[in-house]
Amino acid sequence: MDCGRLTSSLGDQREERNLEVETVVYSGFYGDVASSFLWEKGERESIIDILLTVVRRCGHVCEMSHIAVILGAYGASLSRQDQKLLLLLRCYEQNGASLAEFGVLLWGPAAVEFQKARKSLGKSIWQQPSTDQILTLLDKDKMHQTLLNFPQYRHILPQSGKDEIFKDDNIKDLDSLYDPCFLLPLFSTIVKSDSVIDCQKFVYTNALGVTIAALSSYDANLLCLLDAFKNGIRQKNSCVPFSLAVYIAKSAQQIFKPGEYMYLVINKFLLSHQYLDIKKVPGFFKMFYNSDLEHRVEREWILHLLAEGMKDRYSYEIYSSQRIFQVLLAFFSCPLSDESAKNQILDILTNAAQVTKAAYELIRDHGILGWILSILQQRYFDIQFLLPIRVATADHLFPYYSHCTTQSIYITVSEWGITAAADWKEKYQYTASSPP
């Protein structure tokens, strides 16, 4: 079956024939969706495209019995297929099919099994899925990846006139992340006052972490969640920096590790502060410069936080305002800096170089290219460790770099050693432009 041609033909049918053709096509396709796990990925997606086309043209075909099939095929991820299935569910709601009858939503094979039990038991003894069943479906590692790579530009509601399918070139594998547009309303449902929830499991599965990460979203519709941070928010509708969201998520996970040294450190810090300043990295200087016997543990923890939290310009501005980059660049060459700390600092710089403003200011204000050459000449690290910084910086800097100076350092590495060439402009032929 040529699903793509069928989708196109549906869009080309004349108005008087749409109703008859689409109703007939739609009625025969739910078996395909129900068994979508057996289809090739491309064909599976084409089938969903057909269903979306039919529902949008012929809303009266939507029936409550279809929703269970859609939920059975849905994986709650950011894959193209799952995003389209979520759009399909929204189309059903817009056409009068209420999801409230299903209560708290399950998805995937668990949804199929639950609906089978619902049919066999009947409404008299059938019960809504528990919050524990919902949290059990969440993969802890996948939730952690969703936290670290939270799609900040994902809109919780579809935007008219824009592409309905979310894309982000900075996220390598969207299929490996959960979709916050599905999870956040789900979490909102299960944490209502009349629900019984296992708070420990909610935190352990990183559900709390993903919820906190949502506060760094650029979607204004999510900023209503900021009421939970009223003591720390000084401006209306402020966005919580991603670095702070990561700090809160990591601190919450530390609760389950009372035997670790960092459990006492984090608890002591949080209990001694009435609120978290959203314009600072909490406890950076105390952890970084601690002289206790376990000072390396604290330094490693805070450096790991800096690397994971360096995601956008807001996080960079926080780091810059605290002069964190000056501290890191100076400490790198210090005798107290071990190999582990050096690797973590390089991770932070590599992530910072992905942000245009950070890359520009790292060259203009901190001389990062000269610093890299100095490190290479002193043989602190092999080029393979420093090359990602240079490449990432180059990708973001060259349109702006000639604005601040005409000279730079071009590092080329051969099998025999290091050579330097001055004059980026001649090599890359960029013209001066204003800084980011």
Write out the DSSP string of 188-230.
Answer: HHHTSTTS---HHHHHHTTHHHHHHHGGG-S-GGGGGGGGGGT
Alpha helices in 58-177 (DSSP H): 64-73, 80-94, 109-121, 131-137, 140-148
> How does DSSP assign 344-408, residue by residue?
HHHHHHHHHTTSHHHHHHHHHTT-HHHHHHHHHHTTSS-HHHHHHHHHHHHHHHHHHHHHH-S--
Most confident of 317-331, 349-363, 404-418: 317-331
Out of 40-44, 69-73, 284-288, 324-328, least confident range: 40-44
Find the mean pLDDT for residues 352-362: 89
Q: What is the pLDDT of residues 144-189, one digit of tens each?
A: 999 999 998 888 877 776 778 888 888 888 999 999 999 998 888 8
Task: Give pTM, 2 decimals.
Answer: 0.77
> Is the model more confident about 436 or about 167?
167
> Is the model more confident about 209 or about 379?
209
Facing residues of 413 across strands? 418
pLDDT for 431: 39
> Is the model more confident about 221 or about 386?
221
pLDDT for 130: 79
pLDDT for 406: 34
Find the mean pLDDT for residues 294-300: 92
**Is residue 212 over pLDDT 60?**
yes
> Is the model more confident about 398 or about 128?
128
Cβ-proximal residues to 171 (8 Å cutoff; 6+ apart), any chain: 149, 151, 177
pLDDT for 60: 76
**Is residue 233 over pLDDT 80?**
no
CA-wise closest residue to 77 among 207, 218, 180, 154: 180
Q: What percent of the chain has pLDDT over 90?
A: 27
Find the mean pLDDT for residues 328-335: 90
**Is residue 347 over pLDDT 60?**
yes
**Is residue 237 over pLDDT 70?**
no
Out of 16-30, 107-121, 178-192, 360-374, least confident range: 16-30
Q: How confident is the model at residue 224 (pLDDT cuts 50, 70, 90)?
A: low
**Is residue 137 over pLDDT 70?**
yes
Q: How confident is the model at residue 409 (pLDDT cuts 50, 70, 90)?
A: very low
Find the mean pLDDT for residues 277-282: 88
> Is the model more confident about 53 or about 280?
280
Q: How confident is the model at residue 6 (pLDDT cuts 50, 70, 90)?
A: low
**Is residue 11 over pLDDT 70?**
no
Out of 22-36, 166-180, 229-243, least confident range: 22-36
Burial call 401-415: b when 16+ CB within 10 Å, e when fewer: bbbeeeebbbbeeee
**Is residue 309 over pLDDT 60?**
yes
Q: What is the pLDDT of residues 62-108, one digit of tens each?
A: 777 788 888 888 899 999 999 999 999 888 888 887 776 666 688 88
Find the mean pLDDT for residues 47-76: 82
**Is residue 261 over pLDDT 90?**
yes
> Is the model more confident about 395 or about 155?
155
Alpha-carbon distance of 202 to 191, in angstroms, equals: 10
User: Chain-wide mean pLDDT for the chain?
Assistant: 76
Structure tokens, 413: 């590495």
